Structure formats: C-alpha cells, structure tokens
Structure 1
C-alpha cells in the first residue's frame, strides 16, 4: 500500500499550471491512498474530484466552514467563490465519512478540520484521516488542543477496523514539537522514523521558490496507530522539485510504502 500526504497550496501562485504539475506527480507515484490539504473548490469544480477522475480513484471531500478568511488572502476578483478543505483519494471505495472541526480561538479560527474516510480494502476497513492544523507560529497550545481532539476522533473511527488507523496531514509543527509528541502516547508511529536518515526530510523547504525567509522544517506527517505499521518498505519526499518548470506546491509530499506484517492483514 502506497500512502501519500500533500498540502496543495489552495489557489495561491500559478494555480492552474500547478494543477497540472500536481497531477503529473501523483500519476508518477501511483498511490493507493492520498490525504490532501488546502484543496480548492470553485465554479462546480473540485481539485480533488478532478484529480480522482484523472487518476481513476475514489474520493471524499470536506469543506472549511470559514473560507472567507482564506479568500481575503487572494487578490483575484473570484476569490469570494473559492472554497477550501481537505480531501482523500483512494484506490478503494469510501464506505463512510466523518468530519471533525478542530477547536481554535475566534481570532485563529479559519475552519481547520480533520476528514475521516473509511476505505473498503481487501483486508477490511481502513480508517484513514487527513488533517490541517492551525498554522500561526505562536499557536503551539492551540495545535496541542487540536491534536488531543484528533486522537479521540481517530480512535472513535478505528474501532473494529481491518487495519490500524492511518493519520496524515499538515501539522504545521515538527515531529519533536510539544503538539506532535503526544501522538506517541496514543500508540501512533511516525513513519518517517523508517526513512533513510540521510534523505532530505523538510517538507517546508526554502529551496522551494514559493517560500522566502523561513527555516526548513518537516511539518507534513504520516502516522500509523496501534497495533503498528507492519513492514515499512520505504518513506521519502515527493513533489519536491519543478515539473516542466513549475513547482507543484509550497509543500513537498510525503510517501510511505507499507507491506504485510504482524497486525496489518492485507496492506
């Protein structure tokens, strides 16, 4: 099973050209399941739906309840019609779906959420969640509260599943941060632990021309909950360079390849 997480940078920058580059990266990766953040919806079109159609995948989508906070950041006249949210693309049918609105104080509440999709794999239901935590640099305590709510949300939907739950997303925090570390206490493993220690790890990287004046950081994560991920064959970045001269997003994607192992029938 190949799992990908990727923040797609909404409708910022050269979004129409980036859309083609995003598709090219995903087509080359041939993922089984993808968690997406900052997905746009406008004029009857949804980026995740379009990607799913091009790639022959199933999909699920959840929209932010506060898109206006995002829309004010766009300068084009159509900003008021553009939605933003999270999505899941899947090789297998989506049998059920749920959304968690993440807690946040009013001044920081821009509709961040977690999307759960139950996936009907040959080995049983796979509980798959993708999340986008608050981004403000001073909001560590807010993200910690969001992670607490997220852990309960994932546990609720992981009962009686055929696979351990998979949690993906843009956490806007590094793995050793106060907000991400508590996931280990809930039995989650950060799959980057299995990556080549010499491989480039930053998913927020100043080498990307869309990023200026910031330090490199690994803020995008794939975690697998109890009883564990079985055999992890490879973990790496993707989408971390230009496609026909266009960088697909301001974030790099994370890719993890899993195979059968104890407690993970049918990966």
Structure 2
C-alpha cells in the first residue's frame, strides 16, 4: 500500500504550472492513498477533485473553518479556501473532521479522517496541517493532543493500523512529534503509538521536506528540516501495515518548475499479513 503526504503550497508562486508538476509526480508514484495539505477550493473548482479525476481516485476534503482571508491576501486571491484532502484508490466509506486548537492566526485548522473501503479490510486514514510559527511548539502540542484523541476515536474500525499524515511544521525531536509518536514521550492519547515511517529510511537518505535546495523554500531563510510525516500505528496481526520502505518525492523541477515548496513523503506499507506485496518496486 503506497502512502503519500504532500503540502502543495496552495495557490502561491506559479501555481498553474506547479499544479501540472504535482499531477505528474503523483501519476509516476501511483499512490494508493494521498494526504494533501494547502489544497485550494472554490465551489466546484477544487484541486483535490481535479487530481482525483486525473488519477482515477476517490477524494474528500475539509476546508479550514476560518481565517482564510490571510491566505488570500498573501496570494492576491479572492474566493478560494484552503484545507486538507485525501485521495484514495478505494471509496471513502465514512469521513469525519475535527477542529484543532487555534494558533496565532486562528486559521481554523482541522484534521480530516477518511475510512477507506480497501478490498480486504478498511483503512483508517488521517491528514492534517499544524501551526506553522516556529516558536509555537506549545500550540502544536495542544493540536497533537486533539489529533491523538481524534485518531483514537476512529482507529478501532479495522485491524489495519491507523495512518496519520501531514505537514506538522515541527522537527522530529520536538516535544510535539515525540508526543505524537508516543514511544519517546507520553502519548497524545492513552495507548496510542504511531511510528514515524522515516525511521525505516535508507541510511544516509536526505530527510528534509523543507529543503534549502528548493528555490521556493530558500527565500524564507529557514534551515532545512524534516517537517512532513507519515505515521503508522503498530503493525497488526502478521505484520499488517508494517513499513516496508520510505523516501522523498517531488525533489526536483518538473517541466522547469518545482512542484511545491515542500517535498512529499512516500511510504510503502504491508497491505497483507505475512505476504509480500506484488507490483511496484520498493522505493
């Protein structure tokens, strides 16, 4: 089962060319499930819907519940909202949305749950986008507690481990990320352990999803960091859902343009218990 998470940088920069580049990368990756952040939508004009149609996937999205005027001013846009979305090879059997505690700009950030009707068993999938201001670790900790409670409330529908994706705007050794994992600090919800898929990366693999090598990231002047994640619950019976491989994607120009200011994270999970997954090669 191939999982992708990617922050799409909303409608900033040359977004029309970037949108084509994003679709090219996703088409080449052939994902089963995608968690997207900074997705734009305005009525029927929704990038998640467009991507799903192009890639032959199902989709659902959840807009931020407030504060989008700030985004529109930054991009000189009107009418478009921003939110998170899930694309899936399988139908979305159920969905839920949870508000996150507000940050400095009170954007109305949310977490989105999609219960995916995969052939052998349902998959509980989540995506979100946490507070971006570097100094607001305390806010992100509160958001992670809300996210953990949300995951815990929806994880029991299947023996496949929950999959949590997102742009968490936090370094791996931060309080909020250790809390989300629940194995290097007290967990965000009782009994909830979420394994950072990057723990299984090839030794020496460049980890940064916010990378100074990306010209869209360079002007900010922030150091390169890994701030985008795929987390997976502890494997189910027979190693179900265990991480097989993980890597970055979207790390170079496509047709002369970088797809986003973030790199994507791609993780392959064991879709079946004690059975090798046919088809795509390992990352």
Aligned equivalents of 1:110, 1:118: Cα separation in 2:
25
Map Cα deviations across residues 147-168 of structure 1 (whole Å, 9 max, x no partner): 0110010010111314110000
Equivalence for 1:238: 249
Q: CA RMSD in A?
A: 1.9
Structure-1 residue corresponding to 2:42: 42
Instruction: Output one character per residue of 1:102-140: Cα deviation in whole Å (capped at 9) or x when no partner.
Output: 1015x4311211100000011211000001000011110
Aligned residues: 263
Provide the residue aligned with 1:80 in structure 2: 78
Alpha-carbon distance in 2 for matches of 1:43, 1:223: 31
Contact 1:93–1:119 (CA under 8 A) maintained in structure 2: yes
CA distance in 1, matches of 2:69, 2:33: 29
CA apart distance, 1:260 = 4.5
Q: Which residue of 2 aligns with 1:201?
A: 207
Name 2:225's counterpart in structure 1: 217
Structure 1 counterpart of 2:281:
none
Question: What secondary structure does 1:72 align onto?
Answer: helix
Task: Please give the TM-score of this superposition, normalised by the length of structure 2.
Answer: 0.88
| Contact 1:190–1:224 (Cα < 8 Å) also in 2 | yes
Cα distance, 1:262 vs structure 2: 5.3
TM-superposed deviation, 1:68:
1.4
Question: Deviations along 1:186-235, whole A, 9 cap, x unmatched?
Answer: 21100000001211110000110011211000000000113466442210
Q: Quick check: 1:155 aligned with 2:152?
A: yes
User: Are positions 1:251 and 2:249 aligned together?
Assistant: no
Structure 2 gap ranges (5+): 183-191, 279-283
Give unpaired runs (5+ residues) of structure 1: none
Q: Is the 8 A contact 2:72 2:78 kept in 1?
A: yes
Whether contact under 8 Å (1:96, 1:119) holds in the other structure is yes
**Cα shift at 1:183:** 1.9
What are the Cα deviations for residues 28-84 of structure 1, in whole angstroms up to 9, with x where unaligned? 000000000000013631001000000000000101112112112122xxx220111
- Answer yes or no: is 1:32 the counterpart of 2:38: no
- Tell me, what secondary structure is at the counterpart of 1:155? helix
